[in-house]
Amino acid sequence: MGMYQGPRQEARRINEWLPEEAKNVDGLILSHGHLDHCGKIPVLTQAGYDGPIYCTPATAEVARIVLEDSAEIQEEDANYLNHRQRAPGEEPIRPLYVRSDVPRILKQIRRVKYGQRVDLGKGVGFTLLDAGHILGSAYVIIDWRDDGGGKVTSPVGGMSTSPAPGLVSDRSVRPTENSRTILFTADVGRYNSPIIRDPQTIPNAVDYVITESTYGGRAHAPMNEVGPALLDAVKHCIAHRSRLLVPAFAVGRTQTILWYIQRFIQGGLIGPIPIYVDSPMGVAVSHVHEEFRDYYDQETRDAIGTNDLFGMSRVTFASSTQESKRINGENGPCVIIASSPTCEFGRILHHLKVSIERPNDLVVMVGWTPPHTLGRRLQDGQTRIKIYDRWYDVKCQVRTIHGLSAHADGTEIIKFLAPTIRPETGFYVVHGEPGEADALVGKLLSAGASRVEVPAMGTEVMVR
């Protein structure tokens, strides 16, 4: 139920589409709160779905913020575009959903802790385990019994009897001889990344795997190279009294960047510099991180104690449109972190209009950007781009720091999947461009898998 981000017309077509009978499914399991995983949920509920939405407690908070922000951005963009001159007969642009659509979704959310099994009835259940991608992110192991028996089965060890459908059992249990399991990886995080824990080890081999492949054929820069690359970008803007623009997810990526800059200042590598987070949800998500400190890795917990993790006391958060506009009166040196990473919508566009033709200003992309988006065109070095309804010459510098990605690279995905890479496991490779997906197929085959597919759009698979 993620929102597709790409060219406006194509995105609208894809985001309005739902699978046949989607509104009648028994339940929705949400892996994490990024827009490309939860952003389409209001479309589903508008179509009539009123069942449970299962996720971790942190994901429930993050998804609420992301959906409210997505709705607000759509309203703002529609209002901006509808005020420009339209062709005769051209229909006004309407948001896919608005802020008033979000509260009903929140009532459908059921919070599930890591490692606890939810029984869905008729011998079917699932368990969420820490994916190490963003705060609260999970991978999902779904289990079921061939005979439809009533005993709880789960891939994490122990024994118990079934609770009522939809409730969480006190203990997880190992699958019985008649059980089958599917692992849905969703987005797998990196190892040794800041703040949150590494991906939790898959406890047992499973029968089927649906795996992401965002960076299936690539190798990220080592984590120890990320800090120096970001520090060099900040120092460039200090030296040239210019602006550093970072189009970034407000969830996860924004907090990681703030964490690095806080370390630079505390370590005396740079002096205090104005930092702006221009996203209505930036401050809210940072507060959610403060609320869920139990999700941090041990190194972070030991290092910060009760201290300010993100330097929030020195960060200016822009919640309103007027506050966002005032930021563009700041010529530098400063750091501006704004949504969205694709540069297709949101407040980053207004900052780009100011900086794009300034030779000393710097845009730093901090992860994978979908093809055919403005962000990708900047990464690919295009020298002339269109922002809203005007063309600009690209004179600013554009850099990419791939090591800041919250996605595992190809080697890390194989490390994560290692406990279930075996000839009898069926693998389905999704969530990646064709080249990345094909590259991960090769890695899986080399690692010992024998049943690996990259399903085409609309593929149906019957498992038994």
pLDDT in tens, the chain (464 residues): 999 877 778 889 999 999 888 999 999 999 999 999 999 999 999 999 999 999 999 999 999 999 998 898 889 888 888 887 667 777 888 999 999 999 999 999 999 999 999 999 989 999 999 999 999 999 999 999 876 444 433 444 432 333 444 544 434 434 556 789 999 999 999 998 888 999 999 999 999 999 999 999 999 888 888 899 999 999 999 999 999 999 987 778 888 898 899 889 988 999 999 999 987 777 788 889 888 988 988 888 877 766 667 777 788 888 777 888 889 888 889 999 997 788 887 789 999 999 999 999 999 998 778 888 999 999 999 999 999 889 999 999 999 987 888 899 999 999 999 999 999 999 999 999 999 999 999 999 999 999 999 999 888 888 87
| Enclosing H/E stretch for 266 | helix 253-266
Check: CB of residue 339 under 8 Å from CB of residue 245.
no
Are the CB atoms for 52 and 107 separated by under 8 Å? no
In words, the CATH class of domain 8-217+407-453 is alpha beta
Token pair of 76, please?
Answer: 């703002």
Is 436 within 8 Å of 215 (Cβ atoms)? yes
| Helices (H), ranges, 101-219 | 102-108
Question: Secondary structure of the chain: what % helix, strand, coil (to 5)?
Answer: 35, 20, 45
Which residue in the block uniquely carries the two structure tokens 């922000």?
A: 69
CATH topology of domain 223-404: Rossmann fold (3.40.50)
Give the global pTM. Answer: 0.82
Rounded Cα distance, 84 and 101, in Å: 26
Return d(Cα 101, Cα 364) in angstroms, integer: 34
Q: Given this chain, do its domains 8-217+407-453 and 223-404 carry the same CATH topology?
A: no
Q: Which residue in this structure is represented by tokens 């007027």?
A: 322
Q: What is the domain partition of the chain in residue ranges?
A: 8-217+407-453, 223-404
